[in-house]
Amino acid sequence: MRVDEEREYVEYVRAQLPRLHRVAVLVLGDRDRAEDAVQNALTTLYKRWSKRGEVSNLDAYVHSMVVRACLSDQRRPWTRVFLRGSPPDTEVDAGTSQVDERLAVRQALERLPERQRLVVALRFLCDMSVADVAQVLGRSEGTIKAQTSVALRTLRELFEASAGAELPARRSA
C-alpha cells in the first residue's frame, strides 16, 4: 500500500473506530470480543483499501464487515461468564441514574433475538437509515421495518415489566 493510501486508511479508521466498537459491543455484549471482531474487520478492510473506490457507500460497507465479523464470532464456541451486579461504566460516574438507565437498556437489548438487536443498534444507536441497515444486513427494507417494530414493542414490554423490578434472565436463542 502506498504511503498516502495508508494515511487515508489510518484517518478513516481513527474517525470511525468509536462507532464501530459501539456497534460490535451492542451486537456481542462483550467489549473484548467486540474489539476482536472490529480488529478482524479492519484487517480485512486494510487488505481491500485500494479497492474502496469501487464501493458506493464506504461507511455502510465497513459497518457490514463489522456486523459480519460479529456474527462470525458468535458462531464460534465460547465459554460465557455472566457476572451479577453492575459492570463498571467508565463514561459516567457510577452514582448517577444515567448508569442505571444504560444498564437497563443493555439488559433489554440482550434479551432481543440477534437480528432484532442488530436492527435496533444500527437504526437508533448508530443513527443509520432503514435503507442503510437493509444494505448492511442484506435484507429488504420491509424486513428491517418489521423487525424494528417487533423489537421496539418487545423493548417497551420489557421496560414496562421491569418498572421497579430487575429485568428477567435472558431468553435462550
The whole-number pLDDT of residue 75 equals 56
Within-domain flag for 170: no
C-alpha cell at 66: 463489522
Model pLDDT for residues 9-50, shown as the tens digit of each residue: 999 999 999 999 988 888 887 888 889 999 999 999 999 998
Residues 69 and 100 in one domain: no
Model pLDDT for residues 106-156, shown as the tens digit of each residue: 788 888 888 888 888 888 877 788 988 888 888 899 999 999 999 999 988
Confidence of residue 92 (pLDDT cuts 50, 70, 90): very low
User: Which residue blocks in the chain are alpha helix, DSSP H?
Assistant: 3-28, 31-48, 58-75, 97-111, 114-120, 130-137, 141-161
In contact, 110 and 170? CB cutoff 8 Å: yes
Model pLDDT for residues 155-166, shown as the tens digit of each residue: 888 888 876 555
Which structural domain, as residue segments, surrounds residue 148?
Answer: 95-165
Within-domain flag for 53: yes
Question: How many folded domains does the chain comprise?
Answer: 2
Residue 84 reports pLDDT greater than 80: no
Which one has a higher pLDDT value, 92 or 39?
39
Instruction: Provide the 3-class DSSP secondary structure of residue 70.
Output: helix
Q: What is the C-alpha to C-alpha distance for residues 74 and 72, in angstroms, rounded to an integer?
A: 5
What is the pTM for the complete model shown?
0.57
CATH of the domain at 108: 1.10.10.10
**Among 48, 46, 47, 39, which Cα is nearest to 66's?**
39
C-alpha cell at 9: 486508511
Residues 66 and 110 in one domain: no
Residues contacting residue 84 through CB under 8 Å, at least 6 positions apart = none
The whole-number pLDDT of residue 45 equals 92
The whole-number pLDDT of residue 169 equals 52
Residue 94 reports pLDDT greater than 70: no
